[in-house]
Amino acid sequence: MIIDSHAHVVLPAESYRYMANLVSSRANPVDRAKVPDSAIRAAAEGLLRMMDSVGTDMQFLSPRPYAQLHSIKPARVTELWTRHVNDVIHRQCEMFPDRFRGVAGLPQYRDSSPENTLPELERCIEQLGFVGCLLNPDPTEGDCAPPPGLGDPFWHPLYRKLVEYDVPALIHSAGSCQPREPYTLKFINEESIAVISLLGSSVFEEFPTLKLIVPHGGGAIPYQMGRFRAWTTRLGGTETFDQKVRKLHYDTCNYAQEALELLFKVVGPDRVLFGTEKPGTGNARNPETGRDFDDLKPVIESIDFLSEQDRRNIFECNCRRLYPRAFRNDA
Amino acid sequence: MIIDSHAHVVLPAESYRYMANLVSSRANPVDRAKVPDSAIRAAAEGLLRMMDSVGTDMQFLSPRPYAQLHSIKPARVTELWTRHVNDVIHRQCEMFPDRFRGVAGLPQYRDSSPENTLPELERCIEQLGFVGCLLNPDPTEGDCAPPPGLGDPFWHPLYRKLVEYDVPALIHSAGSCQPREPYTLKFINEESIAVISLLGSSVFEEFPTLKLIVPHGGGAIPYQMGRFRAWTTRLGGTETFDQKVRKLHYDTCNYAQEALELLFKVVGPDRVLFGTEKPGTGNARNPETGRDFDDLKPVIESIDFLSEQDRRNIFECNCRRLYPRAFRNDA
């Protein structure tokens, strides 16, 4: 089974109309979202055709990260928009229960405590049957001083809830307010910041069963390992940096074979989930291969140092292990 | 000849005393720096012993980046400290003219235009015989909104001067005011931001002979190439991202062999300068090799797909080409 653990919902045009109105009116007054089942279904069917074209059996759908509006004022916009997108994801999951699972967006808002996101997380997990959530390390979207790093107790209320539900969080920033740093690069930089903050903290002593996934191959960290190996050695301590990085999980949403090879070597294939974000940044034809950049299954199949079991772990088993709620109705 | 193009001055204790006083008094009143020749010489001799231990013939010395104080208020502190450090570098270069070259620190200050740095650049190049300079893309050190990206005309006054002098700039951030992002990681993230900003701009059309070096193997970019290949393809245009990255230069200050191999493959050995920053972040014994992490000469010598000429380019020729002022008194 091929599970794409990192994918984002394809929204119907009616959703964007709702967003446009929410942002323009600043949610005052609040319009009602009106999205007919036919539009929800058509958007999902377009996505299913894409999945079929590359052999993906199932996608885990979360909100499109850069369009999460985490720093748009006032907070009510973020809150309503997040709820709307989660509802669309839920409706698509209900329509195609063999092909989709829901990963919740959280209504994170600027430097507010993540406590404000717990009701929506609860709703998504308990009522909508979602299996995980996104976690944005910088909901200010670069507009002002970011909240403390993910290693800080600031985030513990959310971690406590994730552990209680036994659901993982996919660490993924949203937009970027700084012209010098497009959102697609901010994703990468925020991942590096998240890894270093988490691995320098006592989070995994306090929450030993917390499951966090760093997408896009872990930002810069697998490439910059030497730097942090040396840094960790100089600071002393009992664990090497290579041991530390295995406390986190990663995904394959990195569109170059040499980079994926480095990732597998550095963190181990038991720590990496298949993810392509198709259709997303990689949705363009690679002239060298004639396939889309985000068609990663053949790339992973061609890496010869991976065993058959390694590949099964990457494509399916690691994901099943991390997301127990995704398959609990299985025989 | 082995030229370490990325190295930082080792300062005598008297310099730190001067810095402590400058920061504490906020340069009001201004103390005078008193550093005897014997202290300058002793610091340099310690560094020479380290260079000899790893077979480095020459180091290009710049200020220690994280200690540049670019965001300490008021600007006068930065200005005096930069001038002091450049003077120490100059004195060490004068004492050991076969072993050191000077790379200037610039008194960049928060979001001020780089115009304010031109007099010190001029002094360093014309009077002190320096061969290049550092360039910090975020002199706010993360304390507030950063200046525009390096692709923005904001930076043109500095680029104009660099082209006029035919000297390269080494893109290197300084400190970090955000607890979640230690300076050593901010270096990496700022490099990624710099590359994407520059390659998305028309800087190299306006300044075709501008020479910019991205240290530490180019931040995250060589590892995240697939992402930016796809991004560039989707945006259209005539150049591929692989062509664009070769407008910049890079250095080997990345302490993992697999990462260096990826760098050489992606940007080409003709675009990479030997640099180790020894002693810096990599100044710790690697238990796997028994050598220091920053002892990179044997690492590069062991990469078997590099030809003898590739190695000579990396160790020496690329550097001579980029820094013509470093060797203009040669026979």
Subunit contact B223:A226, Cβ cutoff 8 A: no
Q: B268: which strand partners?
A: none
- Interface contact A54, partner B, CB < 8 A: no
A155-173 exposure pattern, b = at least 16 Cβ within 10 A, e = fewer: bbebbebbeebbbbbbbbb
E strands of B159-293, at which residues? 169-171, 212-214, 249-251, 272-273
Chain A residue with minimum CA distance to B234: A284
Tens-digit pLDDT profile for residues B262-321: 999 999 999 999 999 999 999 999 999 999 999 999 999 999 999 999 999 999 999 999
Q: Given CB atoms, is A153 within the 8 Å cutoff of chain B?
A: no
CA distance B285 to B310: 27
- pLDDT tens digits, residue range A7-54? 999 999 999 999 999 999 999 988 888 999 999 999 999 999 999 999
Mean pLDDT (whole number) for B224-235: 95
**Any idea what the Cα angle at residue B301 is, between residues B258 and B275, rounded to 5°?**
75
CB contact under 8 A, A256 and B225: yes
Tallying the residues shown for chain B, one arrives at 331
The answer to whether the Cβ–Cβ distance between B192 and A220 falls below 8 Å is yes
The residue extents of the domains of chain A are: 3-327
- For chain B, what percent of residues have pLDDT higher than 90? 96
Tens-digit pLDDT profile for residues B113-125: 999 999 999 999 9
Q: B197 — contact with chain A (CB < 8 Å)?
A: yes
CB contact under 8 A, A230 and B188: no
Active-site residues of B, by number, are 277
pLDDT band at B31 (very low <50, low <70, confident <90, very high): confident
Check A220 against B222: CB less than 8 A apart.
Answer: no
What distance in Å separates the CA atoms of residue A189 and residue B192, rounded to the nearest whole number? 8
DSSP annotation of B292? B
Name the region of B110 (left: φ>0; alpha: ψ -120 to 50; beta: rest). left
d(CA A185, CA A179) in angstroms, rounded, equals 11
Evaluate if residue B46 carries a pLDDT over 60.
yes
Interchain proximity B262–A145, CB inside 8 Å: no
Q: Is B13 exposed, middle or buried (0-12, 13-18, 19+ CB in 10 A)?
A: exposed
Distance from CA of A102 to the nearest CA of B (A): 25
Q: With contact defined as beta carbons under 8 Å apart, do A215 and A6 qualify?
A: yes
Q: If you search the block for the tokens 């710099």, which residue do you land on? A: B194
The answer to whether B274 touches B251, Cβ cutoff 8 Å, is yes
Q: What is the pLDDT of residue B93?
A: 98
Position B328 pLDDT exceeds 90: no
Those residues whose C-beta lies under 8 Å from the C-beta of residue B7, and which sit 6 or more positions away, are B59, B60, B61, B62, B275, B276, B277, B278, B280
Chain A hits for B220, Cβ within 8 Å: 188-189, 192, 219-220, 223-224
In a 10 Å sphere around its CB, with 0-12 CB exposed, 13-18 middle and 19+ buried, how is residue A266 labelled?
A: buried
Q: What 3-state class would DSSP assign to B213? A: strand
Statement: residue B331 has pLDDT above 60: no
Multiple choice CATH, A3-327, 3.90.470.20, 3.30.530.20, 3.20.20.140, 3.40.47.10 = 3.20.20.140
CB < 8 Å to B137, chain A: 180
Nearest CA in chain B to A200: B180
* Interface contact A256-B285, CB threshold 8 A: no
Amino acid at B34: K
pLDDT, greater one: A127 or B328: A127
Q: Do A34 and A14 form a contact (C-beta atoms < 8 A)?
A: yes
Q: Taking chain B, what is the end-to-end CA distance rounded to the nearest angstrom?
A: 15
User: How many angstroms separate the CA atoms of B224 and A188, rounded?
Assistant: 8
* Higher-confidence position of A303 and A30: A303
CB contact under 8 A, A259 and B223: yes
Check residue B171 and give its pLDDT.
98
For residue range B54-95, what is the model confidence (pLDDT) as tens digits? 999 999 999 999 999 999 999 999 999 999 999 999 999 999
pTM over 0.90: yes
Q: What's chain A's length in residues?
A: 331
Q: Which residues of A touch B259 (CB under 8 A)?
A: 223-226, 262
Contact B224 A216 (CB under 8 A): yes
Contacts of B224 in chain A (CB under 8 A): 188, 216-217, 220, 254, 256, 259
pLDDT value for B29: 87
Q: What is the pLDDT of residue A285?
A: 95
DSSP character at residue A325: G
pLDDT of residue B330: 64
Q: Residues B206-222: what's their mean pLDDT?
A: 98
Cβ-defined contact of B282 to A230 (cutoff 8 Å): yes
Q: What is the pLDDT of residue A330?
A: 64
Asked if B201 is an interface residue toward chain A (Cβ–Cβ < 8 A), one would say no
Residue A4 tokens read as 């794409």
Nearest to A179 among B149, B227, B294 (CB): B149
**Would you call A198 an interface residue with chain B, using a CB distance cutoff of 8 Å?**
no
Q: Can you list the alpha helix ranges (DSSP code H) found in chain A?
A: 13-25, 37-54, 75-95, 118-122, 156-165, 183-199, 203-206, 225-235, 241-245, 257-267, 297-301, 308-312, 318-322
Distance in angstroms (rounded) separating the CA atoms of residues A306 and A261: 9
Provide CB contacts within 8 A for B273, sequence distance 6+.
B3, B5, B6, B213, B249, B250, B251, B252, B314, B318, B319, B322
Residue A241 pLDDT greater than 90, yes or no = yes
Higher pLDDT, residue B331 or B277:
B277
Chain B contact set for A217 (CB, 8 A) = 223-224
Closest B-chain CA to A188: B220
Helical pair B75-95 and B13-25, crossing angle rounded to 10 deg:
170
Q: Which residues on chain A are in Cβ contact (under 8 Å) with B255?
A: 225-227, 229-230
Give the model's confidence band at B32: pLDDT under 50 very low, under 70 low, under 90 confident, else very high.
Answer: confident
Summary mean pLDDT of chain A: 97
**Cα-flanking dihedrals φ and ψ of residue B4, to 5°?**
-90, 100
What are A272's strand-pairing partners? Answer: A250
Of the listed ranges A30-44, B90-104, B180-194, the one predicted with least confidence: A30-44
Residues of B in contact with A262 (CB under 8 A): 223, 258-259, 262
- State chain B's mean pLDDT as an integer: 97
* A290 in contact with chain B, both atoms CB, cutoff 8 A: no
DSSP string, A129-198: ---EEEE-S-TTTTSSPPPPPTTSGGGHHHHHHHHHHT--EEE-------TTS-HHHHHHHHHHHHHHHH
pLDDT at A52 (0 to 100):
98
Residues 215-234 of A with CB under 8 A from B: 216-217, 219-220, 222-227, 229-231, 233-234
